[in-house]
């Protein structure tokens, strides 16, 4: 009885060690693969945000990833990196050129390791607000009636893709975006994008509406 207890204690301890150790190794492989594949030619992985002018922003060849672990849903990045589909309808910060759909693609094992690495990059400004993805009718009203967010963002409505092309598509946000990040981004956009194209809404509506809006947006299918 006693021995059995000690044995299971050590077995659990060992398994935990194996698991966290393996995950760590995986993320370290991912970091190496990120550099080998020259992903940093286009993506910033060290925060905080440093852009000061529109020129700084336009010099970038891809979105910053220094808070990727806070922005994306677990599971999304591994799939996307192995089979990237356009998120922004247009080329990065272009209003005229459609997205060429030519993002580098990784073999699925490498994609998983790089995703594990990217998920370790988090921001202390995200989390703890209790935002969950859900069908939120009040949020829908803010999205569609109060601010016309779809003027710049695509979304899926009754099976059809509709909406503007200048912002990232919000179709599939439920699989892609962490609800807590959506809220943090709406409330404190400057932490993530000191210079930005999207209008700033914080201060225009009360917190309750921001929460409803964030829940609605992160539930878009
Ligand atoms: C030539 C520049 C370039 C290189 C190299 C590149 N990316 Fe990207 N990446 C982009 C652009 C542009 C987008 C936006 C694509 C879209 O919206 O469809 C993007 C999007 C992403 C996203 C989604 C980010 C978001 O906020 O929507 C991730 C994750 C990502 N890249 C990871 C990688 C990894 C990992 C590598 C290396 C294997 C890599 N990228 C190499 C330009 C690049
Ligand atoms: C004038 C155009 C415009 C309007 C209106 C607009 N957005 Fe945006 N949005 C953008 C652009 C452009 C980005 C990309 C980030 C940037 O450059 O600021 C963005 C980024 C986002 C993101 C992050 C998406 C990602 O994958 O990175 C979310 C979420 C978002 N907007 C939600 C909203 C909501 C909710 C509203 C309405 C309250 C709204 N937007 C209104 C242009 C707009």
Q: What does the alpha-carbon distance between residue 21 and residue 18 come to, in Å, rounded to a whole number?
A: 5
Please report the pLDDT score of residue 21 as a whole number. 57
- Say how many Å lie between the CA of residue 10 and the centre of ligand 2: 50
Please report the pLDDT score of residue 15 as a whole number. 59
Closest CA to 33 of 119, 107, 114, 106: 114
- Tokens 């700033």 -> residue: 200
Please report the pLDDT score of residue 147 as a whole number. 93
Closest CA to 131 of 190, 85, 199, 180: 180
143 CB-near residues (< 8 Å, 6+ apart): 149, 150, 213, 216, 217
- CA distance to 25, 80, 99, 102, 170, per residue, from 86 (Å): 30, 10, 7, 9, 11
Residue 137 has pLDDT above 80, yes or no: yes
Q: Which domains does the chain have, with CATH numbers?
A: 2-118 (1.10.760), 137-217 (1.10.760.10)
- Name the residue of 49, 152, 188, 205 to mutate for ligand 2: max ligand atoms within 8 A of Cβ: 152
Cβ–Cβ < 8 Å for 72, 177:
yes
Tokens of 208: 């309750």
Cβ < 6 A, ligand 1 pocket: 34, 37-39, 41-43, 61-63, 65, 68, 77, 81, 86-88, 92, 99, 103-104, 106, 114
Closest CA to 111 of 176, 25, 181, 37: 37
Signed CA dihedral, 181, 182, 183, 189: sign only: positive
Please report the pLDDT score of residue 13 as a whole number. 58
Which residue minimizes the CA distance to atom 40 of ligand 2?
Answer: 149
Please report the pLDDT score of residue 134 as a whole number. 98
Residue 161 has pLDDT above 60, yes or no: yes
- Say how many Å lie between the CA of residue 185 and the centre of ligand 2: 9
Tokens of 193: 């994008």
Residue-wise pLDDT tens digits, 78-118: 999 999 999 999 999 898 999 999 999 999 999 999 999 99
- Name the residue of 63, 167, 170 to mutate for ligand 2: max ligand atoms within 8 A of Cβ: 167
Residue 191 has pLDDT above 60, yes or no: yes
* Ligand 2 atom nearest residue 166's Cα: 12
- Tokens 């503007």 -> residue: 164
């Amino acid at each position: 009885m006693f021995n059995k207890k000690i044995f299971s204690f050590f077995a659990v301890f060992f398994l935990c060690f194996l698991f966290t150790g393996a995950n760590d190794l995986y993320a370290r492989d991912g970091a190496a693969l990120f550099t080998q594949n020259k992903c940093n030619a286009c993506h910033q992985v060290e925060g905080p945000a440093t852009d000061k002018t529109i020129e700084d922003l336009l010099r970038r060849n891809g979105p910053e990833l220094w808070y990727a672990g806070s922005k994306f849903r677990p599971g999304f990045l591994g799939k996307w990196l192995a089979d990237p589909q356009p998120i922004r309808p247009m080329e990065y910060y272009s209003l005229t050129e459609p997205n060429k759909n030519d993002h580098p693609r990784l073999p699925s094992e490498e994609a998983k390791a790089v995703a594990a690495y990217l998920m370790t990059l988090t921001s202390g400004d995200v989390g703890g607000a209790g935002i969950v993805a859900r069908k939120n009718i009040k949020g829908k009203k803010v999205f569609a009636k109060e601010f016309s967010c779809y003027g710049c963002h695509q979304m899926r409505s009754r099976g059809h893709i509709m909406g503007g092309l200048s912002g990232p598509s919000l179709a599939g946000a439920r699989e892609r975006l962490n609800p807590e990040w959506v809220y943090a981004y709406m409330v404190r956009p400057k932490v993530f994008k000191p210079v930005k194209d999207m209008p700033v809404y914080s201060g225009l509506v009360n917190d309750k509406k921001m929460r409803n809006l964030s829940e609605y947006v992160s539930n878009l299918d």
